[in-house]
Structure 1
């Protein structure tokens, strides 16, 4: 049901931490529905009580303030419950994609110095094996009892009292992982201040309405945009409708928009394609929608035009990173409205520069690297001072690694990536990780991974693999090997086996040449 909103001043004065913003809704509307997912609903009062008891249960089990607790959970009430509990207990939540395999989970547990991991039943085997690979004790908690599980969430809640630890704006509250193209994944240190700034900006825009409708999050909450959208809805006192992107069903989303007062959502290109294909005006009423937003790769112009005409709502572009606690550019807040093809204007408190290779600021219209600065930018990378120093300029701007230009009205258009990141179906794939996995195959000499444009997913992963001398490989073998080691969205959809590959003078495969060859060969698929 529509929610009577708080004032922005009420939120600003209620506290300066993530958990204090969430608590306001539990204090003022304890009987209101907080989260709805997969046929289950929890009220704000119940969610708050369970989260604070879980926080104390984690403390009783031995977790201290600033310990890391990994959350390997899909979108759902348990994820929100666990994240709220960590914030209440001063424990840093570190989300893990629940489709990750043993190797990926083990890396994050080890690098984050995790004291515990909370999982769903689907991840028990992978998590248990991953813990065996880590040279440290890691407690294993689950939503259900299983072999090797130390305790369930319900058991921790029953063992705990209510607990909310005093924290400061500069304290780290969330540690998601991202990666460069030439190194291991890095833990991004996001503080209470980062979230407070982004939540207040998000809620302030929603408060322009006299009444708030329900919120809908279809992006994964283990990614920064999905998580920010979720906690912003809870801070505003909305009912948060969560869908599981790993069980993506456009009909479910259209039914929710038809039945509930949902005014906006954020999706990726594949989701807009599926919603457009599934929409039936005789069964679906989408008149409550006032705006939609898209992330990931740019949405094809034909798809955007067709969706906007059919649904009678604009698709607004934006731009953000894990390191910036989601959006730093937005069309939905832009002073001159939406400009198709542009990512929008800088959000409040955000400064941007476009610079050349030497760091010299470029005039309007010229493309260079996008630099950003603002209170939503991360504190740094966990236990990696060198990477943190490299990520920032001397005057404190974050180097995004993306190429962009700016016009005279301060609209920024993203031109491409200096990095080699592949964005497939809204998920980031880092070539170095896939290459390392392929090269761990005993018969592989080397490999290079590139992204190929794809109408549905934006890009797909493609790889050129060379076998060791005397060894024979086939494409299906490489695909299966990667699927066994990494999340499904990272596996190459295009595999070529060649005895030789174009190389530099030092013997490295020429990535640019392979990418050009692959695009010429497969771009028209």
Structure 2
């Protein structure tokens, strides 16, 4: 039952189990769980973590693909009052190690075999002094599933002790540390509290039209806000059934929509345009789809009309947010016109203020461009162990500077037009040039490098590297790209590489990336 009082994630889970106990909560390759069974598995997960030394305030890192195990591990940590640290399965060893070290993660739940990668083994030998316990799941053939075995071995009295801990969790406790990057290129951990997360996604799930019994195909990775908070948590809040997707495959997705009668989906516009185009030849019955949520500065009106006309989707909504504000600031409404949904991210959500300001911090008039600032219950507690960056981002009066540029129309709808920061988005994943450039500078033969986002028909944007090679040393572009694939997440790997004699700089020596973007336009 929904209440106005702030709630914690454990309270949401217990409420869902009480209200929807016999209804399906998760249908995955590994298991099918009702809400009552999910509650019991989460309590067992809490007991297992507690036996491994995890307590209130400790950090539990999760390095898994979308799965029931991901959900169980996160809910178990929340029940103990521990903080979840999601880690992308696209990251390489040093990238993940930075997050583990920075967060002082005490426990790690990792995949032993996902797409041929042993994530637990990837960080063997790396100095991680705070990491006291590691639990593998998705094992290789013949190896034990430590997670599943651990849950099976939990004793009833351990469950009672673990569940008792849930009563001590408060809405102001930090539930999640989501790592993001800024202009420095070093990942920063945004600290998000229980109460603000639950309140934000109660609003989100209502605006998206999610209801009990819906079948929610969760394609967005659970290490991403769109996967866990807008997927898992929103489903639990409303009593929907979760269908986790480990790896997106368009043909398999069409098959599942038809076979499972999926009613809710979320993701970037590229996913839905791909599905619609493929289904014109596949001819699957997609009529069960009722609600689609996407997030992009521009969505093709043709795509929205195709979802409504060809598929029969009733609700299509667009949204805008960023990690530091629980990934949600504005949403369109189900009854908005197609053009509003396509060209804007809608109006600010209830309980949150938004303004657009010029470089002096003065509000700009309607129709003028300004930096988007946000104030309200959804603003993070700050960056983990980084008061200087927190102070730069959150003004003394509570306004958070997003670094994004937008325009408000007379109806209060936001159009995001640019990014003050150089971040670009590849297929729904944020890419931060400074972070990528720092890694590239380790490649022998590079003297300087600048990374920009360039348009791509399928992915929206992809990375392009502008390279100044070291003198008197041949530079092999193919070898460089191969090195990038081995050392960074695939979505960060440049699809284009251009050699330059020098990078354009201003009088202060700062690289003028706008000139690079103009030259590429």
Residue 253 of structure 1 deviates from its aligned partner by: 2.6
Two-structure CA RMSD over aligned residues (Å): 2.5
| Contact in 1 for aligned 2:23/2:213 (Cα 8 Å) | no
- Alignment CA distance shift 1:203-1:274 (3 Å): closer
- Does 1:156 pair with 2:157? no
Determine the structure 1 residue equivalent to 2:123. Answer: 130
Give the whole-Å Cα distance in 2 for the aligned partners of 1:443 and 1:146: 38
**Partner SS, residue 333 of structure 2:** coil
Residue 303 of structure 1 deviates from its aligned partner by: 4.2
- Does 1:398 pair with 2:389? no
Residue 302 of structure 1 deviates from its aligned partner by: 4.6
| 1:49-72 per-position Cα deviation (integer Å, ceiling 9, x unaligned) | 121112121111112211111101
Task: State the TM-score, normalized to the length of structure 1.
Answer: 0.90
Unaligned 5+ runs, structure 1:
1-9, 520-525
| Contact in 1 for aligned 2:297/2:416 (Cα 8 Å) | no
Residue 32 of structure 1 deviates from its aligned partner by: 2.2
**Partner SS, residue 11 of structure 1:** coil
* Aligned partner of 1:141 among 117, 132, 135: 135
The correspondence of residues 92-491 of structure 1 with structure 2, limited to 5 A, is 92-122=83-113, 125-138=118-131, 139-144=133-138, 152-157=146-151, 158-159=153-154, 161-162=158-159, 163-164=162-163, 165=165, 166-205=168-207, 212-228=213-229, 229-244=231-246, 247-280=247-280, 283-296=283-296, 298-313=298-313, 315-332=316-333, 339=340, 340-491=342-493
Determine the structure 2 residue equivalent to 1:494. Answer: 496
Residue 286 of structure 1 deviates from its aligned partner by: 2.4
Mean Cα deviation higher: 351-360 or 42-51: 42-51
Determine the structure 1 residue equivalent to 2:517. Answer: 515
Determine the structure 1 residue equivalent to 2:46. Answer: 55
| 1:404-460 per-position Cα deviation (integer Å, ceiling 9, x unaligned) | 111222111111111100101111110011101111112211100001011111101
| 1:240-283 per-position Cα deviation (integer Å, ceiling 9, x unaligned) | 12222xx2122333233324454332121220221012214884
| Contact in 2 for aligned 1:269/1:457 (Cα 8 Å) | no
Unaligned 5+ runs, structure 2:
none
- Alignment CA distance shift 1:263-1:231 (3 Å): same
Residue 392 of structure 1 deviates from its aligned partner by: 1.2
**Partner SS, residue 128 of structure 1:** helix
- Alignment CA distance shift 1:196-1:208 (3 Å): closer
**Partner SS, residue 343 of structure 2:** coil
Give the whole-Å Cα distance in 1 for the aligned partners of 2:410 and 2:6: 38
| 1:316-372 per-position Cα deviation (integer Å, ceiling 9, x unaligned) | 221011111122100136778861301101111111101111110111111101111
| Contact in 2 for aligned 1:296/1:423 (Cα 8 Å) | no
**Partner SS, residue 76 of structure 2:** helix
Give the whole-Å Cα distance in 1 for the aligned partners of 2:202 and 2:406: 27
| Contact in 2 for aligned 1:71/1:94 (Cα 8 Å) | yes
Determine the structure 1 residue equivalent to 2:76. Answer: 85
- Alignment CA distance shift 1:332-1:428 (3 Å): same
Task: State the TM-score, normalized to the length of structure 2.
Answer: 0.90
Residue 495 of structure 1 deviates from its aligned partner by: 0.6
Mean Cα deviation higher: 161-170 or 255-264: 255-264
